[in-house]
Every structure is written in structure tokens, then in C-alpha cells.
Amino acid sequence: MADPMHQFEIHKIVDLPDFAIPGVGVIDMAFTNSTLAMTLAAAGIAGFFALATSKGAVVPGRLQMVGEAAFNYIDNLTTSIIGHEGRKFFPFIFTLFLFILAMNLLGLFLVFTATSQLAVTATLAAMTILLVLIIGFVRNGANMYKLFVPAGVPWYMLILVTPIEFISFLLRPVTLALRLFGNMLGGHVALKVFAGFVVSLGMLAAGGGLGLLGIPGAMLSLGGVVALTALEFLVAFLQAFVFAVLACVYLNDVVNLGHHH
């Protein structure tokens, strides 16, 4: 249990029959701790907004105020980045932001953090880029090439700029997935390490004698745990926010392709 990486291991809770897809392979359908964390996050969001909107009061209560604040926050985000068409993509961005935020926050209270799994963050990134591609081709058709050919660039520079832009586009889902995964993984590892110092040094001090010198170290490590926990709450919000912002930026690139917005 002292292993800081133990908290990221996938464990089966309910073992279900495998599902075979021709040409793809066998998919393990087991209900795992990762699935449980994502299910709790989704249920928590649905439950919160069900309570927040149950009364629909003209003068909102606390829960309704929080729900409306989150709604307005993401609505302003999408319209400020994408423009007047941003509200068309509001449901996706709003769901993406809340789902990531809920999983991040649950990871601070539960043993397992779903966003510390690359498979989860990569799936969210792939969904985002797939939506960008679909919207891009539906709206622009063959003009999608303009995404890799910046306006105003001299023709002789396009030989260098176009491959860079294309590679940059291909790396978007990779950076989206790795940024969220790395931040959540690293933060929880640091918390586990500092918490281990508190326990180890506390046990050393309990032995008496020179072991009492471990008390200052344990107190310092405990302070580090408190500080890191506060920082992790901030990171949980910031990573959800950054993911939502980048999703808006990528959608803006194809929605307003050829326009300066």
C-alpha cells in the first residue's frame, strides 16, 4: 500500500462476459474501479442539476445559483472563443468540462482517479478531435486544407509551414490526453509520497530516542500534504478548464475557417 503507483491500478469489481467484435477483437466488459469512478462522476453531475433545477425558483437558492453560474461560465467561454455560433457546441463543452471536473474532484476523495488513466483522457481527446473533423468537413468540405495553409504566408514558406501545421494538428489529441493525464498522475503521486513520509517519520519517532528527530520531518511533510491537497483542488479545476478552452479553440479553427475571430 506504500507504493505510490498502487492507487492507479485497475481492479475488477464485477466480472462480466467478454464482448467480441469481428475484426477488432475481444473487449473486456468487466465493471472496474475506473468504471465506477466515471459512473459516480456522471451520476453526481446529473443528481446535482436535478436538485438545482427541481424548484426553478425565480429567486435561486444556493444549488441553483451554483448551477446557473457554471452554465453562464461555460456559455461565455464558448461564445467568446467561437463567436455567435458557439452556443451550438455549448452542450458538448459543458458536458466535457463538468465530467472532467467531477472525475478530478472525486479522485481527491476516493482511492481512484479516472483521469489518471491515459485510456480515459485519450478517449475524451479522440472524441473532441473527431467532432472537430466532422464539423470541419461538413462546414468547409475541401476547403479544410486552409487549416494547414495560414493566410498571408508567402508561397515559398508554405513548404515549411504547411507540414508543421499538419503535424501540429495531428498532435492535438496527444497533447490533450497527456496534459490531463500527466497532471492528475503527478499530483496524486506527490501526495502519496508526502503522506508516506508522514507515516514513516511518525513511526520512527514513536520508537523514541534519536527517532524523535523524525517529528519535525513528519510535521513538515504533513504541511506539504495540506499544501499539495489545496493545490490539487486548483489543478482539478484548471485542467478541466484548459481542456474545455482548447476544445473551443480547436472548434473555432474549423467553424471560423478563413475568418479572423
Please give the residue range of the domain that contains residue 149. 6-255
Q: Which of 51-55, 69-73, 123-127 ranks highest by mean pLDDT?
A: 123-127
Q: Is residue 1 part of a domain?
A: no
Q: What is the pLDDT of residues 112-131, one digit of tens each?
A: 889 999 999 999 999 999 99
**pLDDT (0 to 100) of residue 1:** 47
Among 47-56, 76-85, 238-247, whose mean pLDDT is lowest?
47-56
**pLDDT (0 to 100) of residue 15:** 83
Task: With CA atoms as reference, report the closest residue to 70 among 47, 48, 54.
Answer: 48
Total domains in the fold of the chain: 1
Asked whether the predicted pLDDT for residue 133 surpasses 80, the reply is yes
Report the relative pairing of strands 25-27 and 31-32 from DSSP bridges: unpaired
Asked whether the predicted pLDDT for residue 245 surpasses 80, the reply is yes
Q: Is residue 174 part of a domain?
A: yes
Higher pLDDT, 192 or 151: 192
Q: Is residue 105 part of a domain?
A: yes
Q: Is residue 77 part of a domain?
A: yes
**pLDDT (0 to 100) of residue 74:** 94
Asked whether the predicted pLDDT for residue 61 surpasses 90, the reply is no
Q: Give the mean pLDDT of 102-106.
A: 93
pTM of the entire structure?
0.88
Q: Is residue 260 part of a domain?
A: no
Q: Is residue 241 part of a domain?
A: yes
**pLDDT (0 to 100) of residue 52:** 81
Q: Is residue 165 part of a domain?
A: yes
Among 43-57, 131-145, 208-222, 244-258, whose mean pLDDT is lowest?
208-222
Q: Is residue 261 part of a domain?
A: no
